[in-house]
Every structure is written in C-alpha cells, then in structure tokens.
Amino acid sequence: MTTRLLRTLFVFAMLAAAPVVASTDTAEAEINYLLDAIGSSGCTFIRNGKEYPGEKAKDHLAMKYRRGKKYAGTAELFIKRLASESSWTGKPYQVKCPDEPARNTGEWLTQRLQAHRTKPE
C-alpha cells in the first residue's frame, strides 16, 4: 500500500472510533456521578438483607463496576447489570432514604441519572 492510502485509512479509522471514545467517556462520567450520588446521599443501602451506609454502597458498586466494566457500556447498563441486584443471590438491592420508604436501587439510580441529564449546564 502507498503511504497516502495508509494515511487515508488511518484518518478514517480515527474518525470512526471518535464517537465510541466520546460515548465511553460520557458513560464513565455518568456512572461516576451515580456512584458519588449514592455515596453522598445519606441513605441506607440494603444488600442481601444487611444495611450499609451510602459510602459502603458506593465502594461495593465501584468494585462491581471495576470488575464488570465490559458489561456496562452505558449508565443504563451499569444500573441494570451491576447496580440493581446481588450477583450472588439475585436479590434486588434497595435504598432507604430518610422520610421515604425503601425502594429498589435500580429505580433510585435511574431517577438520579435522568435528573443529572436534564439539569441545566
């Protein structure tokens, strides 16, 4: 192949990969936002019947994300595949915030994600 053809192919490859990189960066930022949200929420995280403070929940979900990152290419997939239930027991995780009934963590995180996406810049 000629040098010019190789350069052209390289440019096209870089342009094709750009949306994937931007998408990955967005997903990573949104997932980190969700981890910080649960860590600083002041809510109790219920996992397999045991209660944990938000910071411990953040640590646990961050560990699951580090190990299962390839299954969570978007914030929605992170919520669905890693942050909603125990991978050991299949029991849903729950969040109990002050003055609110306990609810599924997946629902809680989805609401946080939607609010994050719609907030003015």
> What percent of the chain has pLDDT above 70?
80
* Structure-derived torsion over alpha carbons of residues 104, 110, 115, 116, reported in degrees to the nearest 10: 120
pLDDT surpasses 80 at 13: no
pLDDT surpasses 90 at 22: no
Confidence (pLDDT) at 31: 98
Confidence (pLDDT) at 120: 82
Confidence (pLDDT) at 6: 44
Distance CA 25, CA 31 (A): 10
Confidence (pLDDT) at 119: 86
pLDDT surpasses 90 at 76: yes
Take residue 17 and report the two structure tokens written for it: 């990969």
Burial label for 14, CB within 10 Å (0-12, 13-18, 19+), is exposed
Can you give the pTM of this predicted structure? Answer: 0.79
Beginning with the edge strand found earlier in the chain, give each strand of the sheet holding 50-53 in spatial order. 50-53, 44-47, 94-96, 103-104
Over residues 92-118, mean pLDDT: 97
User: H or E segment at 85?
Assistant: none
